[in-house]
Chain A
Amino acid sequence: MSGRDVSGVGVEPSRLRPRDVLRVAGSGLRARPLRAVLSALGIAVGIAAMVAVVGISASSREQVNQQLDALGTNLLTVAPGTTLRGETAALPADSVDMVARIGPVTTVSATGTVPDAAVYRTDRIDSGQTNGLAVLAARPDLLETVAGTVAGGRWLDDALGSFPAVVLGSTAAERLGVTRTDGSVAVSLGGEWFTVVGVLDPVPLAPELDSAALVGWPVAASLLDFDGSPTVLYERSAESQVDAVRSVLPATVNPENPEEVTVSRPSDALAAQAATDETLTTLLLALGGVALLVGGIGVANTMVIAVLERRSEIGLRRALGATRAHIRRQFLGESVLLAALGGVGGALLGGAVTAAFAASRGWPPALPSWVLAGAAGATIVVGALAGAYPAARAARMSPTAALTAT
């Protein structure tokens, strides 16, 4: 019996097209849609958590960047600091003019603390009960220098500076319960009545103004015993000269004791605040990773059960000519597809959460593309790992055992 040759000539090998691997894997999932959705949900939660965490922190960073772009990063504040003996130092009365004479400086303004003055809604409140609101004398160009805006009413211009008029910072207005700025509300300030003419928006670069009641420089001197020496200088210069200006500021404002002067850059504080979120982001990202791991275990579990339940299908496929590799590919494909289903759902969910959260905070939504690429990669890896063991088990199953099991 010569027969046909065993090792090739006679029979063409079994073949399963890549497209058919996908079809077969997909039909396995379609056969039990609820189970597929539920086990994909685990992956979806993990991916959604990770995408949302990165998206929200990126949106927050984007918000800070946009804010800094709008506010400028060239503002420096100068405070007198403390003397060697620990007392609060004072800036010379003419320090504003001295700073203005530094070449690259474009604007300079100042506030001065009015000592022993407090602001109350009425004059019947015990003066010992302070409310943490400062009374500051402000120069007319202050608002422009710190890039502040008026929420209602008007700012203290040159004309108003000599009259008992006050502009409240946003927090101060809230605490005093002042909403009207039409001149009908007056507050008791250092024992005198001052008419509220304006309320400010929060000032990101000078948050100390938020809890202050601002009055004109001249009226502070005439009615409130203000000595006219500035407490904080606000200065802007050309962006490229900020460092140079910073180095000469202490000696300029206080030539005798330059070491007492503290100079700071408020935009740095804003940026640093955004950076401190990083630790929390990492922690949340790790939590998302744990959720993804649990989701992966769920997928593995589903696949193990699927292999046990579908023994007769495996047997039939072997009878139809599937090789072990074809069976392995089918179940591996099913597992990856299942995880990918969760990954896509999770990415959409995470994106939606990011968009909703950013919208609620008024942030620009931002989602770096590497997050989506990372999510896709993580999904495929998780699906492949989860499916590896069940697929190998399905492939190892002997065809007769698979067929006789019912």
Chain B
Amino acid sequence: MSEAVVELAGVVREYPGAPPVRALDGVDLRIGAGELVAIVGPSGSGKSTLLHVLGTLDRADAGTVRIDGHDVGALSDAQLSALRARRIGFVFQQFFLTPGVSALDNVADGLLYTGLSLRERRDRAHDGLAAVGLTHRETHRPNQLSGGERQRVAVARALAGSPSLLLADEPTGNLDTVAGRGVVDLLHELHRAGTTVVVITHDLDVARSLPRQVHLRDGRIERDAA
């Protein structure tokens, strides 16, 4: 079996309140390098919390989280930031592109916190946009792009730092069927090129099109089917 990019063991995440909400309740999950995995479940199942834990944006209350070999629980906030800057790429449902900034510079911002020079960042962003088939849209601003194109720009930004793990949170949620299929095809393409991709979705059709589906319900893994 290939090296593990994600290793969760007995992960619990509880939000304070009366009564406290247990968003993750003892999750064990192993994702190997190069896998394409869907994490699927109804809303409130803990998908988003799991994404945050995988992306080291949130810490587990119990259990161990290893991302790309690093024990997240033992890392400082600055070290987690470093991990996100260099090893993890994020794609969000709302794209979160910077308005008024060209597609090229939006992608280049994916490398902003690596300390590379602007010229180097733009060079790589150029290649990244080519990889998602948007070379002709380099100078366009987000409001001049279609939804599908925006999400492809966001994917290019997430990939700019060649991360070990690409996390996509409902990447097709704001797209029509055709544009959504285009993004899913893009993720397949990345998978074939060797990128580890985790897609969080409530859309069963999207989930079914991916090689492995992890079903989440009430903070537990209900089914893990390849």
Q: Chain A residues in contact with chain B, CB under 8 A?
A: 1, 3-4, 6-7, 10-17, 19-20, 23-24, 27, 30-31, 312-313, 315-326, 398-400, 403-404, 406
B79 with A6: CB separation less than 8 A: yes
Knowing A15-B115, A17-B117, the reply to whether A27 touches B98 (Cβ < 8 A) is yes
- In the bound complex, residues from chain B placing their C-beta under 8 Å from that of A14 are 78, 81-82, 84-86, 113-115
- In the bound complex, residues from chain A placing their C-beta under 8 Å from that of B85 are 14, 320-322
- In the bound complex, residues from chain B placing their C-beta under 8 Å from that of A1 are 4, 7, 66, 69
Q: Specify which of B57, B71, B78, B109 is in contact with A13 (CB 8 Å cutoff).
A: B78
B70 with A4: CB separation less than 8 A: yes
A280 CA / B199 CA spacing, docked (Å): 70
> How many residues of chain B are within 8 Å of chain A by beta carbon?
42
- In the bound complex, residues from chain A placing their C-beta under 8 Å from that of B90 are 316, 319-320
Task: Taking A1-B66, A23-B118, A321-B85 as given, write out 10 further A-B residue pairs in contact, using a Cβ cutoff of 8 Å, ordered by the A residue number.
Answer: A12-B82, A14-B81, A24-B112, A312-B94, A316-B92, A317-B113, A318-B57, A320-B110, A322-B85, A323-B82
A139 CA / B7 CA spacing, docked (Å): 110
Main secondary structure of the interface of B (DSSP, over half): mixed
B41 CB within 8 Å of chain A: no
A223 CA / B14 CA spacing, docked (Å): 114
B61 CB within 8 Å of chain A: no
Interface centre among A7, A10, A27 (most CB of B within 10 A): A10
Pairs across A and B, CB under 8 Å, 22 listed: A4-B69, A4-B70, A7-B74, A7-B75, A11-B70, A11-B83, A11-B87, A24-B112, A27-B101, A31-B100, A315-B57, A316-B90, A316-B96, A317-B112, A317-B113, A320-B109, A321-B84, A321-B114, A323-B82, A324-B78, A399-B57, A400-B52
B118 with A20: CB separation less than 8 A: yes
Interface centre among A12, A313, A318 (most CB of B within 10 A): A318
Residue ID in chain A nearest B75 by CB atoms: A6
A326 with B113: CB separation less than 8 A: yes
- In the bound complex, residues from chain B placing their C-beta under 8 Å from that of A317 are 112-113
Q: Specify which of B71, B81, B86, B114 is in contact with A323 (CB 8 Å cutoff).
A: B81
Q: Specify which of B69, B84, B98, B114 is in contact with A10 (CB 8 Å cutoff).
A: B69
- Give the Cβ gap from B100 to chain A, nearest Cβ, in Å: 6
B128 CB within 8 Å of chain A: no
- In the bound complex, residues from chain B placing their C-beta under 8 Å from that of A406 are 94
A321 with B71: CB separation less than 8 A: no
Nearest 6 CB-CB pairs, A to B? Answer: A321-B85, A15-B115, A3-B69, A321-B113, A399-B57, A323-B81
A3 CA / B72 CA spacing, docked (Å): 12
- In the bound complex, residues from chain A placing their C-beta under 8 Å from that of B78 are 13-14, 323-325
Residue ID in chain A nearest B154 by CB atoms: A316
Knowing A3-B70, A4-B70, A13-B82, the reply to whether A319 touches B57 (Cβ < 8 A) is yes
